[in-house]
Chain A
Amino acid sequence: MNHEQAHALWDAYLDNELDAAATLALEAHRRECDDCRAGLIARRALLAQVKAAVRPYPLPATLGARISRQLRQRIRPRLARSPWLGSLAAGVVLVLAGFLFGHTLRGPPDLDAELVDASVRAVLSANPVEVVSSDHHTVKPWLSGRLPFSPPVPELSTLGDVLLGGRVDYVARIPVGALLYQHGNHRITVYLWPRGALRNPPTRAATLDGYHVLPVAAGDFTAVMVSDLGREELAAFRARWSAAATSDGTSR
């Protein structure tokens, strides 16, 4: 094997993609070739440098939303024809009821969809939270500094629910606080805005495409939990969250 042939195999060798015979031949050549020894060391360093320094471009939040919306548009009109989709049927009924009776029955159905969209968009994005912290002493001032109000930020880590952080979202044309919690393998987004800031806030539980939307009053604030967690489990989370929000007195 000459040096040119050996050089052409450096990368396959370092990537563990070389067969045994070629590996032996390259190693035999390396023992006699100063250039290959130095070259392989430099190449290994280059690969480590690439690995350490290069980060992928983050997925734009709007793209995840655009795609999930386009896919959902394909599903929605056809859902009713798949009766065996079981639990989703209830969601369809709620959505239809929302469309038929609009604002009189419950919050505008668009708002539920908007909250679900916003939470899916965030979870799909590379940075689901803007302030990454499980400490409410970090998250609360961060949100207060960016919102015209100071929402409650209960920490629930002792109860198996981990606070992942927070971000500011924009829902129904007002800025809202969003807290992200992890429970088992599921993520729960809690949206918060001052009570009365929205004319028709969601007041009832809703299910959209497998996501549950659960509103709750929290002192001077309206909170809405959105998650793909089971409905009962999300209701249990809501109870724990409300208790913590009240007891730590952070709700203003």
Chain B
Amino acid sequence: MIITEQKPFEEILEMVKPYKKIAIVGCDTCATLCQTGGEEQVNEMAEKLKDRVVTAFVIETPCDERTCRRDLRKHRKEIEEAEAILVMACGVGAQTVGELSGKVVIPALNTKFLGMTERIGRFYERCRACGDCILYETGGICPLTRCAKGLLNGPCGGQVDGKCEVGGYERDCAWVLIWKRLKEQGRLDLFKKFRPPRDRSYKAQPQELLFR
């Protein structure tokens, strides 16, 4: 899931200030699960911005052009009337709404990471979308994401009692976790394996995946 958090209201207000008529658009997928841009949060925002709001609704998946276009059409009149759209979705959703509507886009959320949800309000980054998954080799623990240095051949000298130097020795050292897991699984040979430098050209440009 894409984890988002709401921007401070003052920051939103500052961006909204020049516009007398705004539409608020939420997301019925990730932002709803994060409780940052679901129906409830959209209504709360509409309440706070009161007079400026011409419409407030939730799009099924704002990051999907098809449903985004469909749901924007349902509110065509209000969207046309609005000078700007406050989007309560991730950066992908906000851009899609902006491109399809041609309106000024105001992001209400900050997009944080691809995360695992323990429960609402407790989210953990687990994937960097690196495009070349090695979880099989690393005991199902992603070192690119969970090691602060993204080392492919850890641990570094910054682990103390299995904790990471980054963040005050509170988070687990990913490479100690990997070592433990592989040891339990009797696969320490994979731990010892040297992983050569990655081809990072793939991530050095905007990604497109075109099947047809």
Are A and B physically bound partners? no
